């Protein structure tokens, strides 16, 4: 009983999907030649090259990713490593969109590699490096001495960090200038006559915690205002925790008349806490907050805001990783975005 269709190399009939062999048969060339013609190798005749590329486009040839990956080790994948419970919400989608935007023009796919509470942040990184599941990695929640960055550097895995490190190692990053943000915020509050300022900081441990604190402190001494300690909470705490702590502080005799908040969601909690204490935003106290989408003005028009663009961060990070993969010097792939300045949400006249 002979087998129906051996189909071993029946060049003839409908394959599921064109491969190099299909193209080779159609053009009458060898698969090597076809492979080379498609990637503009120098030793292919101009005429042949054109013919192959034409046919390839005609029949909609797409290289098989598994084939390429198996042969070359190149995955055409960028991994975005995310903390599944700590990352602030809107943040993530914006970054993803920014990254996608850039990768869409390339053969790269974006995979999201999560890690969650109680997990070692190194674990997803080790996984990616050991299994070679990606050609490049993007991480966030960057620390001054970040073991993930060090590890990837040691193992030759291209990456970019959202936020800087401070280990004397050079690698691509995208960062928002939180030192400048904190300074501007303090200056603005001081210019409104506020002198007792509190800072709701990023979580200690992350690099921009330090940047923010330093900016805050630097500006304080510049404008001769005082800090009201508010460091038992950070933007990583729950809304409820921040709200209660704010209310508590606001009921003291010596209470803040100005807040600097590093995240929009936390700002909602601060304002709620202020009002819990029976005080009024804009009269008793002013708040400068970062925001990543333009919603705070709907909440309280008296708020002062600084915008941080996470979509830009995403596309910047993606470009940096691709650049490194493409052989650019990692030191040339760093960007620091300086705040656009503090904006009042309503004209003082209308207030």
What H or E segment, with its residue span, contains residue 9? none
**Shortest CB 166 distance to a second copy, Å:** 28
Buried b (16+ CB within 10 A) or exposed e, 65-82: eeeebeeeeebbbbbbbb
Q: What DSSP state is assigned to residue 87? A: S
* Segment 15 to 74, residues that bind a second copy, using CB under 8 A: 17, 60, 62, 64-67, 69-70
- How many chain residues are in contact with DNA, going by CB under 7 A? 32
Q: Which stretch binds a second copy (CB under 8 A): 103-111, 138-146, 207-215, 244-252?
A: 103-111
Residue 39 or 283: the one with the smaller Cβ distance to DNA is 39
- Residue 338: how many other CB atoms lie within 10 Å: 11
Cα end-to-end span (Å), the chain = 91
Cα–Cα distance list, 159 to 148, 153, 168, 197, 324 (Å): 10, 8, 16, 38, 8
Which of residues 130 and 224 has its CB atom nearest to a second copy in the complex? 130
CB atoms within 10 A of CB 112: 12
Nearest to 187 by CA among 348, 16, 342, 32: 342
* CB atoms inside a 10 Å sphere around CB 120: 10
Report, in Å, the least distance between residue 256 CB and a second copy. 19
Residues 25-61: b if buried by 16+ CB within 10 A, e if exposed: bbbebeeebbbbbbeeeeebeeeebebbbebbeeeeb
> x/- contact string, 106-135, with a second copy (CB under 8 A)?
---xxxxxx-x-------------xxxx--
241 near a second copy, judged by CB under 8 A: no
Q: How far is CA 258 from CA 197, 227, 261, 279, in A?
A: 5, 10, 10, 12
Pick between residue 28 and residue 229 the one whose CB is nearest to DNA: 28
The smaller minimum CB distance to a second copy, of residues 108 and 181, is found at: 108
Cβ of residue 317: shortest distance to DNA, in angstroms? 26
Residue selected from 41, 54, 59, 104 as contacting a second copy according to rule CB under 8 A: 104
Member of 25, 53, 68, 195 binding DNA (CB under 7 A): 68
Place of tokens 């990254």: 99
**3-state secondary structure (DSSP) of residue 192:** coil
CB of 66 to DNA, least distance (A): 7
- Kind and range of the H or E run holding 1: none
Half-sphere exposure of 23 (CA within 13 A, CB side): 26
Q: How far is the CB of 64 from DNA (least distance, A)?
A: 3
- 299 binding a second copy? (CB under 8 A): yes
Q: Is 17 in the site for DNA (CB under 7 A)?
A: yes
**Per-residue contact flags (x/-) with DNA for residues 277 to 316, judged by CB under 7 A:** ----------------------------------------
Which one of residues 25, 35, 96, 177 is an interface residue with DNA (CB under 7 A)? Answer: 35
Summarize as ranges the residues that interact with a second copy (CB under 8 A): 17, 60, 62, 64-67, 69-70, 75, 77, 82, 84-85, 87, 89-94, 96-97, 100-101, 104, 109-114, 116, 130-133, 239, 243, 265, 268-269, 271-272, 293-295, 298-299
Summarize as ranges the residues that interact with DNA (CB under 7 A): 8-9, 15-17, 19-21, 28-33, 35-36, 38-39, 43-48, 63-64, 66-68, 70-72
């Amino acid at each position: 009983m002979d087998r129906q269709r051996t189909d071993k190399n029946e060049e003839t009939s409908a394959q599921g999907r064109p491969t190099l062999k299909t193209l080779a048969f159609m053009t009458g060339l060898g698969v090597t030649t076809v492979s080379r013609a498609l990637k503009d190798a120098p030793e292919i005749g101009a005429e042949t090259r054109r013919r192959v590329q034409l046919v390839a486009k005609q029949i909609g040839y797409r290289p098989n990713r598994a084939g390429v990956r198996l042969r070359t080790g190149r995955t055409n994948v960028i991994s975005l490593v995310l903390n599944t419970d700590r990352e602030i919400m809107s943040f993530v989608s914006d970054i993803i969109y920014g990254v996608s935007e850039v990768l869409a023009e390339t053969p790269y796919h974006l995979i999201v590699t999560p890690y969650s509470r109680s997990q070692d942040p190194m674990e997803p990184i080790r996984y990616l490096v050991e299994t070679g599941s990606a050609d490049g990695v993007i991480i966030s929640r960057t620390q001054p001495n970040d073991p993930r960055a060090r590890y990837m550097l040691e193992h030759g895995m291209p990456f970019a960090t959202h936020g800087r490190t401070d280990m004397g190692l050079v690698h691509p990053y995208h960062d928002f200038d939180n030192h400048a943000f904190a300074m501007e915020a303090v200056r603005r509050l001081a210019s409104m006559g506020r002198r007792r300022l509190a800072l709701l900081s990023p979580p200690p441990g992350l690099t921009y915690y330090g940047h923010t604190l330093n900016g805050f402190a630097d500006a304080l001494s510049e404008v001769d205002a005082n800090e009201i300690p508010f460091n038992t909470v950070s933007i990583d705490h729950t809304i409820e925790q921040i709200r209660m702590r704010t209310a508590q502080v606001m009921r003291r005799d010596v209470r803040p008349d100005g807040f600097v908040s590093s995240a929009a969601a936390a700002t909602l909690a601060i304002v709620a806490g202020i009002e819990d204490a029976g005080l009024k935003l804009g009269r008793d106290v002013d708040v400068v907050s970062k925001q990543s989408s333009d919603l705070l003005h709907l909440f309280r028009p008296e708020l002062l805001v600084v915008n941080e663009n996470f979509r830009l961060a995403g596309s910047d990070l993606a470009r940096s990783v691709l650049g490194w993969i493409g052989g650019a010097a990692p030191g040339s792939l760093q960007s620091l975005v300086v705040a656009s300045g503090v904006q009042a949400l309503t004209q003082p006249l209308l207030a």
